[in-house]
Amino acid sequence: MDIEHRQNHSNRNCYSDRIGCAAQLLQISEYSLFHAAYRFWFGSSLEDVQMEPLFDSYMFHGNTPFWASHFARAVIKRAGEPFFDPSEFGISPPSPLDEDLQALGTFYVALFGLGFFFFMVMLTYSVPSF
């Protein structure tokens, strides 16, 4: 995300939806932001079973935990600076696929393409011509 886009986000009024704004700046979901905020504030992770009621309360009733609000404010404030790095908030970039998974995907695409080719050949020769 370029600096102008981040500065527009940090300068606009994010008070009504700080969580959504911060999640967008970090390029993660709001639910992932709740997990990152909890880890950032308390230094440990929270299981999904324990996080769901907190997130549900935020989604359906607008009740934002103090640690999530603080985290979102910090992200929005820091995003306006030139060298914004999501890793400062414990957010790592998505890992690329490993080589085995890429090879398997390539194999399936080739297999599907070959099957489609033979299907078209069979269809061409099996239709009676008039």
Per-residue model confidence as pLDDT tens digits over 32-75: 999 999 999 999 999 999 999 999 999 999 899 999 999 999 99
pTM of the model: 0.63
Concatenated DSSP letters of the chain:
--HHHHHHHHHS--STTHHHHHHHHHTS-HHHHHHHHHHHHHSS---HHHHHHHHHHHHHH----HHHHHHHHHHHHHHTSSS--GGGGTPPPPPPPPHHHHHHHHHHHHHHHHHHHHHHHHHHHHSPP-
Provide the pLDDT for residue 10.
Answer: 45
